[in-house]
Amino acid sequence: MTTGEPPDRPEPEVPATVEPTVAPDVVHTRRGMFGDGRTGDTSGYGRIRRPVVMPGPGSEPLPPGFDGVALALSAARGLDPAAVEAVVVYRGEVTLRVAREHSVEVARRLRDDPELRFELCLGTSGVHYPDDAGAELRAVTHLLSITHGRRIRLEVSCPDADPHVPSLFSVYPTVDWHERETYDFFGIVFDGHPSLTRIEMPDDWSGHPQRKDYPLGGIGVEFRGADVAPPDDRRAYS
């Protein structure tokens, strides 16, 4: 039976809004070593392949109070727009990935700008990702704003072939021993440091013990006149 009313027509489909995806930062692929003839390590099944993924830039919204940090740096007069390569937010923590040639200037702006005032440096440490070509070594510095009650992290990368980053000693003198320790254990050379020498290992020590390519093992020791050979490289960082 017709009623004279037009038949029902389906509503036009409205395309869903697609949020931009952020490519993850895959720095390494962890694999099990069981059955691998190149090593005696049996700590994992040989076919295990698990990527080591770091959070990508912009993966979370900025926490309350941090939007002004990025704006203040982007609006800073005289600061190269390419100085801050990325802003990474993960679990409420903010990391600025800074080009190494601009790291001192960025740190100085973070300390001196009244809207930022990160006046306290909590230290510098190192990270080594041997599979991340061109950015195998990273110097990570933690800053605290006592004025505004917020923390931020600066990350500066450099390749194994050129392990140099500028020292932040001129901005935060408290990084003196931290940069020495990072140099000692990771081999990152902090240009401009007033006395970049080893701080834990002997001066004539070969290599940097916290790098992923440093062999696990030991050094020969003498025990009641008998030489005890160091263990061979039975394990691998993976």
Q: Which CATH architecture has domain 57-202?
A: 2-Layer Sandwich (3.30)
- Residue ranges in 102-175 assigned as alpha helix (H): 103-112
Sequential DSSP letters for 35-70: T-TT----SSBTT-EEEEEEPPTTSSPPPTT-HHHH
Query: What are the domain boundaries of the chain?
Result: 25-54, 57-202
- Where does the pLDDT of residue 16 fall: very low under 50, low under 70, confident under 90, or very high at 90 and above? very low
- Where does the pLDDT of residue 72 fall: very low under 50, low under 70, confident under 90, or very high at 90 and above? confident
- Candidate from 98-102, 155-159, 175-179, 224-228 with smallest mean pLDDT: 224-228
* Burial class (CB within 10 angstroms; exposed 0-12, middle 13-18, buried 19+) of 121: buried
In the block, tokens 């009641």 appear at 224
pLDDT of 92 higher than 80: yes
